Each structure stands twice: as C-alpha cells, then as structure tokens.
Structure 1
Amino acid sequence: MTSTVPNEGRRERKKRETRERISDVATGLFLDRGFEAVTIAEIAEAADVSVNTVYNYFPAKEDLFFDREEEMIDRPARTVRNREPGESAADAILGGMRRDIRDRSLYAGLTEGYDTFMRVVRESPVLLARLMVMQQRTADRLRETLREETGAAPDDPTPELVAGQLVNISNVVFRSAVRGIAEGKPKDEVARESLAKLDVFETLTTDAFLNYATRGGR
C-alpha cells in the first residue's frame, strides 16, 4: 500500500514507491509459496524491475520479508522515550501493549492474516535466525535507552535486566496470540487471554521493576 510523506520531493517519492512495490510483491510471493521457494529474480520480474534494483533497496533476501525491521526494533525504546511524566518504562510499554491488543493491532499479533506471515517464518530457518537477531537488537536498543534515561552507570545491570523482561513478555504475548488465531480462536477471546497474561505478569513482578525509570514532572 502506497503511503504519503509530508514535504517529500518527487525523487524521494519515486524511490519510496519503488521500494514499497518491490516489498509488497515479494511479501505476496513469500506468503503464497514460502520464503525459500521464491528467488530474487522472480521478485524482480513480478515487480517489473531489475535484479540489481531489488538489491539496491534490499541487500539481503530477508530484508524483503522483514521490511519494517528498524521500526519494529525501535518501537519499545521509542515508547519509553515518549512516556508521560509520572510514567515508568513498564507503564509505558505494558500500557502500549494493552492498547495494541484492544485495537487488534498487528503489533499484538491480532491482525487478519498475520498467522500466515508467522507460519512462513516458522518454516524458514533463515527467517527464524533473523527474527532471533531482531529480538536481541530490540532488547539491546531498549537497554541503551533505559541507561540514557536513568543515567545508570556502565556496570549497572538493571537496564539490561529490565529491557530483557519487557521484551520477553511482549514476545510471549505476541506468540501466544498468533498461535491462538492460527488455531481458529475468535479474536476477542485471544485478546482477553493476552490482556490476562499481562495482568498476571504484573502481579509476579516487584514494585522496583514496575516503577523503574519513572519520568519526573508529575
């Protein structure tokens, strides 16, 4: 789907549209036939571009599948950076997860067809490996954001431990939701289960964790 970007020049717009077209075509082929079965040459032909053009926009085949990788990796860290006064890191991230669940968002694994997307991932060792790297990079990005936000010393393990737990609960809830949708459960039921998991998680954690990196000003 072509989007619009404010104050975007004609050259930048054409490049973005070409990138989006290649990505959309590739995603359709991957979902239809599986990641391993589709070649870059087939993607280029279907998108009506050269193979070199595909590689110019997507240096690796996995980049075509995870075309929103940087956005996904930065999302928890960005949520913490944008938290409100009086809000902790856990408040911001868990609150965002609850909103995603209520909105039936793709970030909560509740978007129609996302179970097919994840099935393609599970069937590909290359994509599974890339997903693991993405999850580690997400935790690392959040760790560094927490360290910056709190002024923690370089040898303080707290930012790493908090980041790891927050990214892990997000992954647990997401995987469970995708699995539930794949099993044919109604979205409302899966959403209720996801919210319940977050509630249980909060009861199992300490106040020190839940209040870590609370932003001042309120």
Structure 2
Amino acid sequence: MTDTTDRRSRKRQATRQAISNAATRLFWERGFDAVTIDEIAAAADVGRMTVFNHFPRKEDLFFDREAEGRELLRTTALHREKGVSPLEAFRRLAHRLIAEQAPYVVFSAESQAFIRTVEESPTLKARARAIRDELAAEIASALIDATGAQGADPHARLAASLLLAAWTTAFIEAHRTYQQTQSAEAAQAQFLHLIDRAGQGIAVALQGTAYA
C-alpha cells in the first residue's frame, strides 16, 4: 500500500511540475494575461480539468511555490534553535537560503523574466499584493504560536509587517542590483546586507517583546 501511495504521489507531483513548467514557458514567452488555461493544458499534454485539479486559479500556476514558502516561514518561527529569537531565526533563514541557492532567492536572467512578467500583468500584481497580506497574517500567527503570546498580539502583527517589508525590499533591490551588474554574487550580497540592516532596526522596534 505504501509503495502504491508513493508511486501515486510521485506521479501526481510529476504531473503538477509538468503543468507548471509548461505554464511558465508560455507566460515568459507571451505574458501572463495572453495565455489561456486551454493552451497550458495542451502544452503540458493534459486535460483542462487536470490543470485546475492542481492549480485552482490561473495565478497559482505562476506563484506555484506560495504554499511551500508559507510552510517554510511558519517552520522557521516554530522550530528555531533554543535561545534564538524569532527575529534572529528569520535573519538566519535568509543566509541559509542564499547559501543553499534556494529558488526563492536566485538572481539570474531567469528570475528577471519572472519579475518582468509580474510587472507587465495587473492580475499578477494584484495577486502579489494579496499574497503579501496573507503572508503577513501567517507570520503573525506563527509568531504568536511560537512564543505563546495570548490573543491577537499587536506586536506580532508589527513584527510580521516589518519582516515582510524588509524581505520584499531586499528582494526587489537585489534583483535591481542583478539587472545593473549581471552578477548573482553582487545581488546576493545586496539581499543579505539589507536583511541584516533591517533586522537591526526591527530588533530595536520590538525590543522588550518575545519576538526580539
């Protein structure tokens, strides 16, 4: 039963990845808004409903790592090392992601195409703003759970908002650095510099709370 379940899981994941790859290629070639679900299904050699079984919304095909990113952020807050504050855990996460060359923080010609596609699509820009709001709520919830804070702690929401603003700014500026220099190393250095600098300010703002 386990082998059968594993095979089904692998097959499902392979199908999902094939759909995502086909969609990404079409989005980059023609722009997000010009591509239809039927065209994506044809390119991936699957049915229209198969696409929707894996990706309920067209935007999910583009932001296909959203759920994975949410889980990573929550795990960072909940399962940090003993003696490490939540804010420090997020700072260390940034450095670990760069060291591991995680896909979230890759700065390359390919990632530039990702940014350009978002900027050219009102639909994707709206979804990106919604994702940021959802992530802020997710991080605040994780911070509360991680520290045992009671109720809807406003300091948790402040910490989440500041963290998300810092990461967003660092990400955008790192991509700008890559665009100017064509250097992944320079972009990574800019990203970590801004994360570290922002971390100092956020720690001061949250001094005296369980998050710093």
Q: Which residue of 2 aligns with 1:124?
A: 121
Q: Name the CA distance, whole Å, in 2 between partners of 1:175 and 1:7.
A: 43
Deviation at residue 194 of structure 1 after TM alignment: 2.2
Q: Match for 1:172 among 159, 169, 185? A: 169
Q: Which range moves more in the overlay, 138-147 or 188-197?
A: 188-197
Q: Name the CA distance, whole Å, in 2 between partners of 1:154 and 1:198.
A: 29
Deviation at residue 116 of structure 1 after TM alignment: 0.8
Q: Which residue of 2 aligns with 1:135?
A: 132
Q: Which range moves more in the overlay, 6-15 or 161-170?
A: 6-15
Q: Name the CA distance, whole Å, in 2 between partners of 1:137 and 1:58.
A: 18
Q: Name the CA distance, whole Å, in 1 between partners of 2:20 and 2:4.
A: 23
Q: Which residue of 1 aligns with 2:57?
A: 60
Q: Which range moves more in the overlay, 95-104 or 51-60?
A: 95-104
Q: Which range moves more in the overlay, 104-113 or 189-198?
A: 104-113
Letter in 2 for 1:191: Q
Sequence identity (%): 36
TM-score (norm 2): 0.88
Letter in 1 for 2:161: G
Letter in 1 for 2:28: L
Asked if structure 1 preserves the Cα contact closer than 8 Å seen for 2:87 and 2:203, the reply is no
Letter in 2 for 1:122: E
Deviation at residue 214 of structure 1 after TM alignment: 6.2
Q: Which residue of 2 aligns with 1:24?
A: 21
Query: Per residue, is there more helix in 1 or in 2?
Result: 2
Q: Name the CA distance, whole Å, in 2 between partners of 1:72 and 1:45.
A: 28
Evaluate the alpha carbon distance shift between residue 213 and residue 172 of structure 1 in structure 2; reply closer, same or farther with a 3 A threshold. Answer: same
Evaluate the alpha carbon distance shift between residue 105 and residue 20 of structure 1 in structure 2; reply closer, same or farther with a 3 A threshold. Answer: closer
TM-score (norm 1): 0.86
Q: Name the CA distance, whole Å, in 2 between partners of 1:74 and 1:10.
A: 24
Q: Which residue of 2 aligns with 1:3?
A: none
Q: Name the CA distance, whole Å, in 2 between partners of 1:195 and 1:7.
A: 43
Deviation at residue 58 of structure 1 after TM alignment: 1.6
Letter in 2 for 1:132: R
Q: Name the CA distance, whole Å, in 2 between partners of 1:114 and 1:68.
A: 14
Q: Which residue of 1 aligns with 2:148?
A: 151
Asked if structure 1 preserves the Cα contact closer than 8 Å seen for 2:137 and 2:157, the reply is yes
Q: Name the CA distance, whole Å, in 1 between partners of 2:208 and 2:104.
A: 24
Does 2:88 correspond to 1:91? yes
Unmatched 5+ stretches in structure 2 = none
Aligned residue pair count: 210
Tell which has more relative contact order, 1 or 2 (C-alpha 8 A, sep 6+): 1
Q: Name the CA distance, whole Å, in 1 between partners of 2:166 and 2:155.
A: 17
